[in-house]
Structure 1
Amino acid sequence: MIRLRKLDKYVESRFQRTFILKDINLDIDQGDFMTIMGPSGAGKSTLLNIIGLLDQPSAGEYYFINDEVSRLKERKRSDIHKHHIGFVFQAYHLIDELTVYENIETPLIYKGVKSKERKSMVADMLDRFNIVAKKDLFPEQLSGGQQQVVGVARAIIGQPKLLLADEPTGNLHSEQGNMVMELFRDLNKQGMTIIQVTHSEHNASFGNRTIELVDGMLTENQESKEIRA
């Protein structure tokens, strides 16, 4: 589903090039549930943003399904992002001017889902996450944990092929966190590919693959040795 080949991300100043990611080679198959771990500043979120088409590499190749992403026009990249990728952000990224209901509904509007179907799908999300009573509130009226729950609901409502999650339970209490991770595992069993960034060994245990980034590079472990030519 995803192939990264000799992928770099760097920033250049007048006298030097500073690498955020260096020589990343990685295959991610449809149906994987992969965890990216590593110390703070290792490049984990940058890698996730590149995979999610929110950022671009400085060098190397990124293939999403059968497309080499760097060669795609912006409209095609946007279409892939809207129709195939869901993203759970560590900092929520909810739209302040929209209610909980409207935030969850937004991806469906972008995808062109009809109004009646949207109402049914949003109602299901509100019920699943036990936030029906919050549907008319705005993000500023919610706790951090509640905002994260809304963010998760928004990310999965369109049933994306690929779900990217950056510290998805970092702002949740343990019961909410376990509920989200169990949901991710169920979605993965149904065929959704999931990539999460986390510091939690417990969260990592829900997946089937773990890679580690150190100083922007994949460490020599089982996963990095599995790369296919």
Structure 2
Amino acid sequence: MWPPADSDHLLVDAASIAAYEQRLFDSGMPVAALMEKVGLAMAAWLLARRDLLRHGVVVLVGPGHNGGDGLVVARELHLAGVEVSLWCPLPIRKPLTAEHLRHGEWLGLQRLADEPEPGGAALWLDAVFGLGQSRPLPEFLADLFRRRQQLQPGSLISLDLPSGLCSDQETVLGEQAACPSVTLSVGWIKRGLCLDPARPWVGALVRIDLGLPPSVMSNAAAVLPRRLPVTEAC
């Protein structure tokens, strides 16, 4: 049977997602409200799997809105009693992300001055680069992700996309990307994450539903490819 044309099966590219998000913003939804929905939904998925969080969490915060999503997740985990640390490998560029960082520090979230220990037992959340990546990772980040995979395989989860991986193609942007055990794809599944060459860099692929109205995806079935059903990570 052909997969249904719904959010669980449609595959989107970066341009499609940007267009759908713009429809939400044009309707009056603030960017901050969408970031809250994204972060709260991912935090809920993690909190339903407390065993993953037993050694604490390190959130790698990127300069843009993917970093902001990660900071919302960090805040919610912290408020739920999880030990959370933040590391910002690059200067924050988006004002909304900077606001979440300031609030997180006010709440008592620890901001690491140096890169986290790649052999540490805490779960890493990769919120460095999200949709629309087009350049290889900086060498220091590529090396850190490489060492993390060598020393603690399976102890990293990527938020929306693994940093260093193209969302539309199956290619790594350079020689190294984050190598998560799970990728939490926000809203819809990105096309490039389902192509065979990308699978070693994606881990288990989980779609995080945002409860968006069906009208946001109206007419999408006529133009978007679909994927076969897969089993979600536990």
- For normalisation by structure 2, the TM-score amounts to 0.34
- For normalisation by structure 1, the TM-score amounts to 0.34
Larger strand fraction of residues: 1
Larger radius of gyration: 1
Which structure has more RCO (C-alpha within 8 Å, separation ≥ 6)?
1
